[in-house]
Structure 1
């Protein structure tokens, strides 16, 4: 009889993300992820206590990936306004590339009452640093505004909710330019 397969956290996370992206977030179950990594469901309980832990793994991995994307883009410019625009564009690109994982980025409170994940802490720090450099005063309201706008736009785009015609890319850039201008000139 072959030795049981070892499941790494990276393999578990990748399998959960694949299930989510291919079949939807509702399809992420202990059984589905166990099958994806080639073990029996009881074996996963050594790594996660329940389905919400799998969803948190996806959200944390998504936050880490997005933070890397954002850090690379914001690090390539010294213009604070351009950094804010880069953050929104990175979020949109990520949302297009991984829509199901992107939807879990802001579902943390619904997933459990545990503290923020390491990935979300890093992403939040990167966002706050960029906003602090670009806007006067407390960066938190501006960071929340930028995040809410980008998330809302991307959620509507993924749902096919822009049905009035026109160019969605143009609408994104219009909204982004308007918002960045407002955030960087507020008093």
Structure 2
């Protein structure tokens, strides 16, 4: 009879996310996650196939965090442009809590399913409601600006003074369709 697994999938993902935020992506290894959970590495393979699968689970978890933040603002009841602004603010809030994990939203291959695909689909649908044109270029532009702004913010790169929240809102107003 196999030994019982003493760590849940949620605990495994939390430990992996903590390692990612502390040590970067290179610090997320099966051995490091097992050590954080006080289990042996082979026990992790009962929950996830390999490190790539583990990193994908972290990406799904951060996408779920953004989706949860979006659900909290009920974007469907807002004007289309306001809904897009809500998406941006939700992403920024999650990026502040998980600055390294948030980048995993952009590392999954085409054909991704699960929470990341749901997040992308919801963003495209929101952009489509806000514009008469092709939503894909607009979604790409918004995503690139948002990722760049949040990455710079989390790196502490805005040292020129001024209010970063105001700068975010100004940029958002100018990037939205």
The TM-score normalised by the length of structure 1 is 0.84
Whether 1:171 and 2:167 are equivalent positions in the alignment is: yes
Partner residue of 1:159 out of 155, 158, 165: 155
Structure 2: give runs of 5+ residues left out of the alignment: none
**Residue 144 (structure 1) shift:** 1.2
Please show how residues 29-178 of structure 1 align to structure 2 within 5 Å.
Answer: 29-75=29-75, 77-109=77-109, 115-178=111-174
Structure 1: give runs of 5+ residues left out of the alignment: none
Range 157-166 or range 124-133, more displaced: 157-166
Query: What are the superposed Cα offsets for residues 44-101 of structure 1, whole Å, 9 maximum, x if unpaired?
Result: 1233333222111101111111112123324364211111111111111110011121
Query: What are the superposed Cα offsets for residues 127-177 of structure 1, whole Å, 9 maximum, x if unpaired?
Result: 112111111122111111111111110011111222322221111111001
Secondary structure class of the residue paired with 2:5: coil
Query: What are the superposed Cα offsets for residues 101-122 of structure 1, whole Å, 9 maximum, x if unpaired?
Result: 112211224xxxx741301111
**Residue 6 (structure 1) shift:** 3.8
The TM-score normalised by the length of structure 2 is 0.89
Q: Distance in 1 between matches of 2:73 and 2:141?
A: 20
Q: Distance in 1 between matches of 2:155 and 2:51?
A: 25
Secondary structure class of the residue paired with 2:78: coil
Q: Distance in 1 between matches of 2:66 and 2:48?
A: 23
